[in-house]
Amino acid sequence: MSKRVFIVEDERIVAEDIRMTLESNGYTVAGIAASRDEAMAGIQRTSPDLVLMDIVLKGQGDGVEAARMVRALYDIPVIYLTAHADQATLRRAKITEPFAYILKPFEDRDLFSGVEIALYRHRVEKRIEDSERWLATILASITDGVIAADAIGVVKLVNAAAGRIGGWTQSEAAGLDITEVYRVRDVASGLPMELPSLPALIEAVNESPARQVRLLTRKDGSSTVVEQRISLIGDGPGTVSGTVLVFRELTGGTEMPGLQP
């Protein structure tokens, strides 16, 4: 099924030229509009896959305002197609996060490549958003605590279970050093323990063995015994972007108020 493109262009001859170019490359033109209000009504009615948006339009409002409304209401990618390239216009246009900015006059290949790239980028972004929603749902539903930190130990993620066990919420922990959020003691001696360093994790083939430790909670200094495992997060072969710490509260783990950090 061919992708459907809506054209917003106040010059009819230019709009028809764009329509013929798109159709000759296998696209379907969902509609053509010359004003902001006409465009919004047409986009709502036709639900296109992409919008080509001129900045200067007939009537009230311009293409930048229309593009902002399209992204906010429908999450449809927008490409600006305009002769206006002054800095003030570019600054306003950038705020709407367009998928491309093609200047008139343009070659057919420029239009075609811009549309193809915008549609591909939008598909990739949707897949990433879907993956993030799946990940967030999974992390929220599991009973193990999960804390993720970047390569220098700054906390980026704390799931609900980690907050329940350790007392830190995502908003409280994000941006702190992981050693402030996850404070542990030796189970037997009660002495403070350090988390494995990145070199130690790398030497251990990217993962530390499971280990029982006593986790200090944030609220009152009490503690509970957990089993922890720490793994590396890698961007590719030979690269490390952070660590993920997974821990579960052990059945019968006793709490000992009064332990100090």
Q: Which of 148, 129, 107, 137 is nearest to 233 (CA)?
A: 148
Dihedral of alpha carbons 199, 202, 207, 210, sign: negative
Residue 102 three-state SS = strand
**Residue in the structure block whose two tokens are 């409002």:** 61
Which pLDDT value is given to residue 238? 61
For residue 41, what is the enclosing H or E element? helix 36-46
Which pLDDT value is given to residue 87? 76
pLDDT in single tens digits along all 261 residues of the chain? 789 999 999 889 999 999 999 999 999 999 999 988 899 999 999 999 999 998 878 878 788 888 888 988 998 999 998 776 667 777 777 788 888 888 888 888 888 889 999 999 989 988 888 877 887 778 777 889 999 998 888 999 999 999 888 888 888 999 999 988 898 898 888 888 888 776 666 655 556 778 899 998 876 668 889 999 988 887 655 677 888 999 999 865 445 444 444
Which pLDDT value is given to residue 105? 82
Structure tokens at 87: 């800095």
Which pLDDT value is given to residue 254? 47
Which pLDDT value is given to residue 189? 86
- Which residue spans of the chain are classified as CATH 3.30.450.20? 142-249
> To the nearest 10°, the Cα dihedral for 88, 93, 95, 96?
160
> How far is C-alpha 68 from the geometric centre of its chain's CA atoms?
19
Please name the CATH architecture into which domain 4-137 falls.
Answer: 3-Layer(aba) Sandwich (3.40)
Which pLDDT value is given to residue 85? 63
Taking the domain 142-249, which CATH number applies? 3.30.450.20
Which pLDDT value is given to residue 200? 64
- Which residue spans of the chain are classified as CATH 3.40.50.2300? 4-137
pTM: 0.60
